[in-house]
Chains A and B, each alone.
Chain A
């Protein structure tokens, strides 16, 4: 008689080092487990890395740096805040963070979706990129600290500014510095000096509104809120003024 593998397991991460925890997860996935719940997570790194099945991992606690690094098609749900480097060079899948996320969240992301309910730290989405059908999406419910979208080369980033006090502006400076691809949709006020030199500002056209509407609905689908009233806010589109800003820097 064939033994049936349990579809779900729960793992207590208390006092377990990151290598051990990640190998427990990997072994469970290799046994055929589809949903893994980790609880008491306290800073273990690289959760979601090195897994080749489309599983869902729920994380209660504070996952460590490089959450979902190089991930390819898994789904991570974080009930807590994330630290630095979540989604590092992720190729596909979803990271959904019910809290805030630290610096360099979504660095060099190549595909998939990152959703952060609240704020993100410095250099969010630094060097995100896209290629053909691989087009990463990074949605932030709150605001970002400096250098959001730095060296951005592709994909879509959304800053919803939902937690900004009425009358206050986004705090981020150097938004999109070095940007040469992709799009940032930003809701709420900012000054021109907060943008990198390579960034252009435009109103949204119909195609933008259609795309944005889908993204906001994804956000509210996870975190709640009224998509229509969010979409009624004041949005601007930030785009790269050149796809090759420094092509002639070293050429005479």
Chain B
């Protein structure tokens, strides 16, 4: 039975089927990679993935398409690609990706020769690399890890088929195809040694690529090659034109928007406010940046690698460096053009040269375009603050006598006072101001702010979905008159309207408030549902913009009292998965080559120390040998030498006579099932021969050794020697 054990083999046709399916899986992987590039053709990706999935689930359907049809389909695909390029030509990337998708789909579905299989493999790699470069997401690592073994298997199968006669088995018969049968057979066929070798090879590839990954200098491919950049849009709530409710829309998304590597947990402010954009102009339910702010002199454009904090504070005295703590912020792609900044800082660094937009008065740093991939920046010596110095031009403008400005063309600083309301509404606001302030003497902004905030908290409660009714033209006034509850934007807007009516310049600020602490890797996480809107009001006394958060539940009503809340903690599986991402970012994102250099230096010092120690050791051994040789023999030395020699002899002797000794041991123990060592060894060889399908006299001899009458040890050794040779021969 065991002699005649049949070896299951895959037929060429089954191998073809397997290859076809693995190829389809590769193209599915490629489509997955492309789908993580958020672009307009995501529906194309989805449809293509659906078709490929269908073809994998039931290959029969695709095989029924007559093969003559594929040539005209190829022409049609070519035509579509040309037209697509012609229509979108200045844009290069989206049509290119669409072309890749179409090509993948065509190659996957059409009958494939060896050439096509190789093309699919290369295309898949191309897609993975492109999406990896553009998104820098953790998925890239996962996809590459999946791709490597699958592609290795694919190439292995192509090699196998190449040795066989592929040309003869042209069309694969899918009609009687069954997954269970094929996979079962594959399971039976797969040899654990092949799997082991494959795993070793895979490990080797991963090891080498990790090494390369650590050692190669980082270049931003998309920075280097401009046409690889894909333009996307900022979130509506963080744009330069925010409609009432847009910030609250962001809150419905629970995904992470910002991760911050913090010097320590204590360094985070009690209630961190991540300021993104301050909007000065109010117009009928819209807060926007006034036109003046969209250009010089309020904006400047730079292309730099490191930005000093004083460049945002051109009007006031330069800020001294207080500490050298570094904060690294990772802003997820497609979030905002302007970077969340919690306060003033000493310097800010980027990966490579960046095209920046600076708005010094608003204390904003933005990018020229919204990034699709994660964007990282490092801030040195961050100063949490709720007061930002105002520009000289603002101070001058606001210190002038308040004036009525209902003209069409209001210039910048004055937009912070502009109301754009009809007179009844203004009257309503004025009445309300009167009512709030009453007869009290309000000597500064803080006191006024506290009164207004208290009023708002007393009369309105927080709700994400306020019900609006009434007939006032302006949305905010309507809300103030009729509603009982609203979200942060209503509170902030109502505050601004009241403040402006009372003559205080005020502006709306959007960004994030709060966040949570990831316990696993110790970093701060800000999610999109932390999106928030608050107010900055001008404090004429200190010539600063003062942060006020009129939304209930976010601290004290007095703007100068900063309460500290304990942020929520993230732990558990999700936090762990998220922490993988930050580890990935920490490794991928590199502000300079310093840690690579550090690594190289530490490796070099390690090697130097090791070689130094090694040579020392060798030298000391040599010296002691020489000493030993030169000194006269002592009795102790001779005894030691004899003991050493005897033990070496014993080891050697044991090795020479191991069969005899083990045989003796066997006879002493005599367990019922134990075989004596020669039989055991013969059995081992026989098993090897059986798996290697070695035949011939040597097998008979081993059989005699195994089942025959006991033989002499010397004879056995000789046979085993020959068996070893035969095995080696069969391997080569």
Do A and B belong to a common assembly? Answer: no
